[in-house]
Amino acid sequence: MRKFFLSLLLAAAGLGGAHAAEVINLAIGEWAPFTSEKDPKGKLLETVVTEAFKLEGIEVKYSYYPWKRSSTMVEEGQSDGSFPWGKIPEREATFVFAKSPVMTDESVYFFPKSVPFDWKTIDDLKKYKVGVTIGYKNETVYKNKGIAAESVPQEELNFKKLAAGRLDVYETSKEVGYALIAKHLTPEEAKLITHHPKASEQMEYYIFFSKKNPKAKMYADKFDSGLAKLKASGGYAKIFAK
Helix axes 216-233, 44-54, angle to 10 degrees: 100
Buried b / exposed e across 15-32, counting CB within 10 Å, b at 16+?
Answer: eeeeeeeeebbbbbbbbb
Distance (Å, rounded) from C-alpha 165 to C-alpha 120? 23
* pLDDT of 21: 80
* pLDDT of 65: 96
* pLDDT of 12: 42
pLDDT at 215 over 80: yes
* pLDDT of 8: 37
* pLDDT of 4: 36
Q: What angle do CA 90, 94, 96 make, to 5 degrees?
A: 115
Q: Look at the pTM and tell me if it is higher than 0.85.
A: no
Helix axes 155-163, 174-184, angle to 10 degrees: 70
Mean pLDDT of 217-227: 98
pLDDT at 64 over 60: yes
* pLDDT of 9: 38
* pLDDT of 19: 55
Mean pLDDT of 202-230: 97
Share of the chain above pLDDT 90, in %: 88
Mean pLDDT of 165-170: 98
Distance (Å, rounded) from C-alpha 242 to C-alpha 48? 12
Mean pLDDT of 191-212: 96
CB 144 within 8 A of CB 196: no
Instruction: Name the pLDDT band for 132 (thresholds 50, 70, 90).
Output: very high
* pLDDT of 20: 64
